Structure 1
């Protein structure tokens, strides 16, 4: 099993403290941290999603054809409700609604996350300016699935 070195910070910088097994959730968090580190200081300006401030993608529909073959239409109904329709096998036509949370981490760049009915967790880094969605999905009791898709807005 992969492992991760845990770090502590002191006045001299970072010191390695111990190595721990890298779980699926930890891998997801590390992927997010690496993505955020790539963005630079803008991560410190993250804003939480909530009813009082709707993200600009609310009311829009997108078709996503992920690199792993999964295809879905996502509609952001409100600032915390996402309606989806699966287009690809094995469950084409399956649809539903999930409650999501979002954070703006840079202009037009959002982290969008939710928990599936089966306990799996989904996290997207969606760049609405560049039109790219990076997806990190951890099915309940299964390994992390990483994929990407163009964000194609439907009219």
Structure 2
């Protein structure tokens, strides 16, 4: 979990993830414990908020990050901040499940 002494590469930074049918902006707090999210395109566009997040470094520059949104939606990312790729699993508040992958870029 996010108990490591060193901060992750994403701490205090913002990123856009672009998947087939959905794009979102994720801005992480300087202490890496919260994410501000905004879905900017796709069926869930307009959803936004802040959530506590947890993370685990998997390898150099690659992190698993998870959070639960205010409406109950759950999100798990495996983000490669060096290679610029994101894998995500998202269960929306309506129960629909989405597996996504695509580019990750700095905002």
**TM class, shorter-length:** 0.7 to 0.9
TM-score after normalising by structure 2: 0.84
List runs of 5+ in structure 1 lacking aligned partners. 1-47
| Residue ranges of structure 2 left out of the alignment (5+ in a row) | none
State whether residues 89 and 99 of structure 2, in contact with CA within 8 Å, keep that contact through their aligned partners in structure 1.
Answer: yes
The answer to whether structure 1 residue 70 and structure 2 residue 22 are counterparts is yes
1:133 & 1:106 partners in 2: Cα distance? 14
Alignment deviations for residues 61-114 of structure 1 (CA, whole Å, 9 cap, x no partner): 1111112x1111110113110011221144544421011000001111100011
Q: TM-score under structure 1 normalisation?
A: 0.60
State which structure, 1 or 2, has the greater radius of gyration over its C-alpha atoms. 1
Between Structure 1 and Structure 2, which shows a larger proportion of strand residues? 2
Partner of 2:80: 127
State how many pairs are aligned: 106
For residue 140 of structure 1, report the CA deviation from its aligned partner. 4.8
